[in-house]
Amino acid sequence: MFYVYLLDHIQDKTWYIGYTTNLERRLSEHQNGGGSRTTSLKKGNYKLIYYEAYLNKQDATSREKYLKSGSGRKYIKKQLRNYLS
């Protein structure tokens, strides 16, 4: 399984979108400062607010790329409007 996920930084409300094959391990890495360059600078305080599961890597990476685009962010904000309000 491949997972596309969205993290919300609790303090400054910035989002991080990524993909992984092991969601629990990846979340732990982000919380402990061992995640991506972007999340390691803020060290923890991330909350998983959304994820999707895919059977193949190409579908997951395509979805991650879309969600990181302007129209993808607009789409995900619409999907999460109840969380954001």
- The mean predicted confidence, pLDDT, of the chain is 88
pLDDT for res 37: 62
Report phi then psi at 20, rounded to 5.
-160, 170
Q: Lowest mean pLDDT: which of 8-17, 30-39, 41-50, 56-65? A: 30-39
Domain 2-84 has CATH 3.20.20: no
Q: What pTM does this model have?
A: 0.86
36 pLDDT band (50/70/90 cuts)?
low
Question: What are the backbone dihedrals phi and psi of residue 14, each rounded to the nearest 5 degrees, phi first?
Answer: -80, 155
Pairwise CA distance, residues 46 & 14, whole Å:
9
All residues at 6 or more sequence positions from 68 whose CB lies less than 8 Å from its CB, including other chains? 17
pLDDT at 43: 64
Q: Is the pLDDT of residue 38 over 70?
A: no
CA–CA separation, 55 vs 43, rounded Å? 30
The residues spanned by each domain of the chain are 2-84
